[in-house]
Chain A
Amino acid sequence: MSLAVAITGLTLRFPAAPKPALGGVSTCFHTGRITGLVGPDGSGKTTLMRLVAGLLKPGSGSIRVFGRDPVSEAAGLRGIIGYMPQKSGLYEDLSVIENLTLQADLRAVVGGERDEIFARILKFTDLSRFTSRLAGKLSGGMKQKLGLACALLGAPRLLLLDEPGVGVDPISRRELWRMVGELATEGIAIIWSTAYLDEAERCADVLLLNDGKQLYAGPPADLTRRMDGRCFLLSVPAEIRREKLTELAALPQILDATIQAQNIRLLARKDNALPSSCITQFEIKPASPRFEDAFMDILGGVQSGNSSLARILRDIPRDNATVIEARELTRTFGNFTAADHINLKIERGEIYGLLGPNGAGKSTIFRMLCGLLAPTGGEARAAGIDLRRSPARARQRIGYMAQKFSLYGQLTVAQNLAFFSGAYGLHGAAQREAIGAVTDCFHLAQYHGLKADALPLGCKQRLALACAVMHSPEILFLDEPTSGTDPVTRREFWSHINAAVRRGVTVMVTTHFMDEAEYCDRVGLVNRSKLIAAGTPEELKAQAITAGNRHPTMEDAFIALVGRSEQ
């Protein structure tokens, strides 16, 4: 293990930005280790990556990569740095092998050495079967693997990976992690930026940034240890679990409350004991702290308990009606079947999670249910009608939020709010009231005049949710709504969703975060175009119990069930 990158007093301010993107960062990265780069959205992770890669010039302070300056001595460094940016940087109209060949040529990997490295990398990434497929046609996980393969080509000594796990299913994420772990053992220095804190926990070191400032640098366990004695599991029956969660999260003594299997996981603020009054009726036991707990602690927790969204939405009477239904729902593209006889029923007030590996057919099913895609067979109904053929009145009853937070980037926050409320027929006082209410609820007031494109990711997500709920829909369709966002933002997001469900809203959600699946009443698992399992999270986990693993997590269940269906 030796020093790879040394950073001292690094500061960078973009023109016209109110705050520096990075302020006074001083840290080191070592060879043979994976250093996790974590922090909320907009904390400066990507900027730091780009600075180390020599793509940006520091304002002040210095960076030394293997003793060299990445800007003025770039020529000597480019050959030994592998960089994989967030957008993965693949040419979508080139095939896998063409992408690799291009990068190999650019990185001076030629002749026999190339053949040998290609063979190794293709085997390593398991892409051998797809070499002639266009990169644009790969699933999200495969794209990330190819991006990693490209970054690895020049046998780099420093590997910079900017959020390689975004939008990638748990299986692919594990594989990515395994691959990168192997590389570290070969002596490469790896900087891995991530929004998944379970990944960060497994890193040798972490660098935690917030608002461009360095909050912590060192082994994650050292930070986690600070939380000893402050984590508890409260066993709460399923039917009141979400309600209790909301109640507890709102208490000042509680730093963080999440659902973990049959329990509510509680984090006490430093000096406060747990409030005995509301927990006495349940069994409570101490839990070992996780890195995520420490992360929430160092960022000061999140005020997520009582979402005021409940005040905006009208109350929908619980009538136990089936709100979303798919009957033998099938969709083919040419001779490829993307969704194969899917049946599911979602009742009013339920949260239904649709999980599955990348490319399994989740999106196809989702798009058919919300009326964006016509089925080739079977039937999809929402609110009792086929949305595709329904009049405007029916679509008035749903809210939709897409993966990329489909906002009008050139419009300001206020203009986006005005447009989406107007599109759903709000006007005059009602419109002003709705805009005012979501502005308060989602803390958007300070951003009103900013263009949506200029917002940090977390804000965009809040704005997208605000736009989707202003007209008080009965059903919410959420397509990977938390993709790429940090844990703080995700907590807030789910507190809003819980509030909506308390008002009787039915939610259909897709996600790659397995901890989010725990919030769902029921989960459907899709693989190879089929619904391979459905039920409550407990039921799914129960199916994955083996002799070796008596308490499988949702992620274990996902991997086991998908693996089983592949056989």
Chain B
Amino acid sequence: MTMLRRLLTLIRKELQIILGDRQGRLLVIMPVIVQTAIFPLAATLEIKNATLGIYDQDRGPAAVELTQRLRAQRVTFTRFIDIGDERQLGEAIERQRVLAVVRIPPDFSAKIARADATAQLQILLDGRRANSGQIAAGHLRQIISGFEQDAPAAMPVSALVTRAWFNPNLDYLDYILPCLIALITTTGVLIVTALSVAREREQGTFNQLLVSPYSPEMIMAGKIVPALLIATFHATLILLAAVFIYQVPFRGSLLILYAGTLLYALALAGVGLFVSSLCATQQQAFIGMFAFMMPAMMLSGFAAPVENMPVWLQHITWMNPIRHFMEVVKAVYLKNATLGHIASLAWPLLVIGSITLGAAAVLFRRRIA
């Protein structure tokens, strides 16, 4: 009871420091709000409102129909440029006026009319934006394939029925918002743990804690619990925005999501305390925190799927808590995963947490000596 009360004193102090002044409160809330407002809209691999160049060297009936079909769709490409010659083609791509150009060769209509010949069609893309280009090319191929199917001579004997589970419209928002829960909680937890310990060292209050009846473990707990609270608060903010503003339906269990968040924040707090126990100044702690966070975010699977990485790197990402938490959030949020499934994703967090917290505790004790 006494222990608990003392711990509460420590936690209250930490929260008072973080939320005590206007600047502090702003720094807790503003980044979350701004990131929640901008990222889901900015971080998208969907191609919208792009410009398509149409280089029609044929102008026959089939070419006209294909051009009309290309112009008819209104999502990926909304602006179109007619390209008349090779010089314009080169300029349009070089100056990035277009994302892609469809070139219809002079014999296109003729070959379509003669059913036995294969008509050629070229999609020219900008290698500087190869990823967007690939996605755009995929859309163009679907339009062209629809054009083939609907040709009067064609009669399909089979049909491919395509559906997507968990996110039927393949909406990128449904993907990015769960990722954002993982990304934003990361910054908050690291700042509260790594930077605030360094600040107490610089200000001398850390010694004051060490001579008090608190054990090093209690002092650590006094940093961890506020970090957990802030992580939960941040996660809740983004969750509310995701469900009510971005209208991404939450399919899983809130209880599992929060349990996962706490487990993640615990593992990350371990990392933060570990970094802080190696650093003497705030500047070092900040750089140390950054040196961890930067690669960890990039290798979390949010920018590119982990399964695309080379195998050795995939093994390394096993040590990355953000990666595991991101999988957990996506599985709970979008797939309503079962507890067993989540446990199979989340157990590495437990391992990472015990290792980092253990190491931090050892270093904490050693620094006193």
Contacts and interface: CB of A to CB of B under 8 A. Distances in A.
User: Are chains A and B touching directly in their complex (CB below 8 angstroms)?
Assistant: yes
A424 B214 CA distance: 9
B6, B8, B21, B211: residue with the most chain A Cβ atoms closer than 10 Å: B211
Contacts of A392: 213-215
Nearest to B21: A410
B5, B8, B21, B215: residue with the most chain A Cβ atoms closer than 10 Å: B5
Contact of B205 (A371, A407, A477): A407
Interface string B6-39: 1011101100110011001000000000000000
B120 interface: no
Interface in A403-442: 403-404, 406-412, 415, 418-420, 422-425, 427
Contact of B20 (A387, A411, A420): A411
Query: Which secondary structure dominates where chain B touches chain A?
Result: helix
B6 A371 contact: no
Given A410-B24, A415-B16, A422-B6, A372 B210 contact: yes
A420 B211 CA distance: 12
A91 B6 CA distance: 40
Interface residues of B, number: 27
Nearest to B212: A423
A422 B5 contact: yes
B13 A419 contact: yes
Given A410-B21, A424-B213, A425-B6, 19 more contacts: A371-B210, A372-B207, A387-B211, A392-B214, A404-B203, A406-B204, A407-B205, A408-B13, A408-B205, A410-B24, A411-B20, A412-B20, A419-B9, A419-B16, A422-B5, A423-B10, A423-B212, A423-B213, A451-B21
B294 interface: no
A396 interface: yes
Contacts of B16: 410-411, 415, 419
A114 interface: no
Interface residues of A, number: 34
Interface string A548-565: 000000000000000000
A427 B5 contact: yes
Contacts of B214: 392, 423
B124 to A, nearest CB: 56
Contacts of A352: none
Interface in A339-392: 370-374, 387-388, 392
B2 interface: yes
B316 interface: no
Nearest 10 Cβ contacts at the A-B interface: A422-B9, A392-B213, A374-B369, A406-B204, A400-B211, A406-B208, A419-B13, A406-B205, A395-B213, A404-B204
Interface of B: 2, 5-6, 8-10, 12-13, 16-17, 20-21, 24, 203-205, 207-215, 368-369
A393 interface: yes
A402 interface: yes
Nearest to A400: B211
Contact of A425 (B204, B205, B209, B213): B213
A424 B9 CA distance: 10
A412 B213 CA distance: 22
Contact of A395 (B5, B13, B17, B212): B212
Interface string A443-474: 00000000100000000000000000000000
B215 to A, nearest CB: 6
B369 A402 contact: no
Nearest to A392: B213
19 contacts: A373-B369, A392-B213, A396-B213, A400-B208, A400-B211, A406-B208, A408-B203, A410-B24, A411-B16, A412-B20, A415-B16, A418-B9, A419-B13, A419-B16, A422-B6, A423-B213, A425-B5, A425-B213, A427-B5
Nearest to A425: B2
Contacts of A424: 212-213
B296 to A, nearest CB: 29
A398 interface: yes
A393 B17 contact: no
A372 B213 contact: no
